Amino acid sequence: MRAYLIRRILLIIPTLFLVTVIVFMLVRFIPGDVLDLMLAEWMTEGSSDIQDIEDLRAALGLDVSLPVQYGRWLGIVPSQTGEFSGMLQGNLGHSLWDNEPVSDIFRARLPVSIELGILSMLIGWTIALPIGVLMATRQDSLADYSGRTFAIVMLSIPGFWLMTMVIVYPSIWWGAMPNIIYVPITENLWENLKQFLLPACLTGVASSALMIRLTRTMMLEVLRQDYIRTAWSKGLSERTVLTRHAVKNAFIPVITVIGAQIPVVLAGQIIGRAFLDALNQRDYPIISAINTMIATAVLIMNVVVDIAYAWMDPRIRYS
């Protein structure tokens, strides 16, 4: 087990290295130089102090070769000022446009992302677990069929379309306008929750489709096991068989999936606007930083999930 663990953790390193290379190189291939975009914008704004483009390039650190840029970004090659400050030193870089540290951008968005992510996951799993268990125990019944159809319908409707429809049309018809100024949770808990309720419910219900299907499959698999038959033949009540024997075993893989979902759910919230804007503005550091952070979180979470799996289910032995 320990050997396995060490191997898993060591294998993160080459993967992470590849991730950073992919992330760093990919954004540089986006056509349209950030400098051209900047100059174009200053031209239209009519700023008189258009600098020499080469000076600007040097100031942004884009004048050196790509490997050196990569090294500086990672923190293994000294920057212009001669010090090492990159990812490895915990410096996520600065926006090319307004020099805002990327970590500040994260700090501003993370509370909202995390709260929305947690709420929607909570809602999603609260819906999914009981329904999934019920569907599996009553396989091929009306409840099972309607649950499966609901799940597939939810998986088929494009989220961006459904969310727009559900949020915009009711507010037109009933004139209900959600409060769009963010209230921090520390200021007013109730206002804050009210704000998050609608989007969290929507994303929660939408994401419950996958969870329902997963719970159902896992329960079905467990219900076919010999130990469930043994439990039945001992004359245990349905309740005991389900809660003590079936659900406990079926939920182990389900819980690990919840774990693996966490970074993805959070990522989904972060990449929203900030990511699209950064892409359109060719703001390389922001794109790279967001991608790297998410990828790292996913990698680490995968290992954590594997370990948790073995810890919860003593039958699993890694080698």
**What residue ranges bind other proteins (CB under 8 A)?**
11, 14-16, 18-19, 22, 26-27, 29-31, 139-140, 145, 148-149, 152-153, 155-158, 160-162, 164-165, 168-169, 172, 220, 224, 264, 267-268, 271, 275-276, 279, 287, 290-291, 294-295, 298-299, 302
Who's near 245: CB < 8 A, 6+ residues apart? Answer: 227, 228, 231, 236
Least Cβ distance, residue 256 to other proteins (angstroms): 16
Inter-residue contact 184 to 192 (CB < 8 Å): yes
Name the one residue in this structure whose structure tokens are 């799940």: 151
Inter-residue contact 246 to 228 (CB < 8 Å): yes
Could you please report the per-residue DSSP string of 63-114?
SS-HHHHHHHHHTSS--TTS---SGGGT---B-TTT--BHHHHHHHHHHHHH
Least Cβ distance, residue 143 to other proteins (angstroms): 15
Which amino acid is it at 237? S
Q: Rounded to an integer, what distance in angstroms lies between the CA atom of residue 298 and that of residue 259?
A: 10
Query: Which one, 114 or 183, has the nearer CB to other proteins?
Result: 114
Query: Which one, 1 or 13, has the nearer CB to other proteins?
Result: 13
Least Cβ distance, residue 294 to other proteins (angstroms): 6
Query: Which one, 200 or 293, has the nearer CB to other proteins?
Result: 293
Query: Which one, 29 or 190, has the nearer CB to other proteins?
Result: 29
Q: Rounded to an integer, what distance in angstroms lies between the CA atom of residue 228 and that of residue 246?
A: 7
Query: Which one, 58 or 88, has the nearer CB to other proteins?
Result: 88
Least Cβ distance, residue 78 to other proteins (angstroms): 27
Query: Which one, 93 or 268, has the nearer CB to other proteins?
Result: 268
Least Cβ distance, residue 291 to other proteins (angstroms): 6
Tokens of 293: 């952070």
φ, ψ of residue 46 in degrees (nearest 5): 80, 20
Tokens of 49: 């102090």
Query: Which one, 16 or 143, has the nearer CB to other proteins?
Result: 16
Least Cβ distance, residue 149 to other proteins (angstroms): 7
Least Cβ distance, residue 209 to other proteins (angstroms): 10
Q: Rounded to an integer, what distance in angstroms lies between the CA atom of residue 269 and that of residue 217?
A: 28
Least Cβ distance, residue 52 to other proteins (angstroms): 28
Inter-residue contact 61 to 2 (CB < 8 Å): no
Query: Which one, 154 or 200, has the nearer CB to other proteins?
Result: 154
Q: Which CA distances in Å does 25 have to 30, 279, 285, 287?
A: 9, 14, 12, 11
Inter-residue contact 166 to 202 (CB < 8 Å): yes
Inter-residue contact 286 to 102 (CB < 8 Å): yes
